[in-house]
Amino acid sequence: MSQIILNNDLLMESKSNVSEYFIHIKMNVFKHSTWIFIVLFSIGCSNTTNKEKSDQLNGDKKYRVVGYVAGYRDFDFAKIQAQKLTHINYAFANVIDGKVMFDTTNIDNTSLKTNDLNALHKLKEVNPDLKILVSVGGWVWSGNFSDVALTMESRLKFANSAADFVKQYQLDGIDIDWEYPNQVGAGNTHREEDVHNFTLLMKSTREALQVGATRTTRTLFADNCNRSRFYLCN
């Protein structure tokens, strides 16, 4: 079964199955623009070893610690303290022709590096339970979400491509970073029905990930909580 983690601020329409709140705090785990998301409970201080801390993080499902890594920032992933994390979201993939894929377009005049995911997967040597995800969209690449969420056909096309993308890059899941449903964002196409269609898109994507999952847990993040007031207005 796939593990679905949905942001309560985003999916108020789908009130069942939504129980977790994401609190954003900035920590010095990474350089530059890396953010840590603490879910439900903060990590208590202890004198345990790194291995014990890793076991506690991944064995106790009361909270998750998710690092958001900007692939268009030039920093050494080997410096990430992987034993303190449960998940890493790598940014970004784009939505092109209705499908999830990496884009060769630069972000902030910087291209994604082809070996980034290999470097992140290598962190599992430090923390075998670490989950690696790719974030799709973001501020720059959210322009096609409204179209892919519009119809059953377009949602299935996107969802199946997401499952194929996860399999191709040996990921543990995917993060949908639509900025924002029924909001113009960076000059994006948007519709009033985005609010409802977003939930349907998440449902289709979850189901596609479940079909494609074997023994590996597939994780779906719907990440947009710092702009929740815009979403809730609609």
Per residue in 159-216, pLDDT (tens digit) is: 999 999 999 999 999 999 999 999 999 999 999 999 999 999 999 999 999 986 654 4
Tell me the domains of the chain and their CATH numbers: 3-232 (3.20.20.80)
Pairing of strands 99-101, 131-137: unpaired
Choice among 20, 179, 193, 207 that is catalytic: 179
pLDDT at residue 104 is higher than 80: yes
* pLDDT over threshold 90, residue 56: no
Q: Is 179 a catalytic residue?
A: yes
pLDDT by residue (tens digit) across 112-170? Answer: 887 899 999 999 999 999 999 999 999 999 999 999 999 999 999 999 999 999 999 99
**CB-based contacts of 16-21 (< 8 A; 24+ apart in sequence):** 21/225
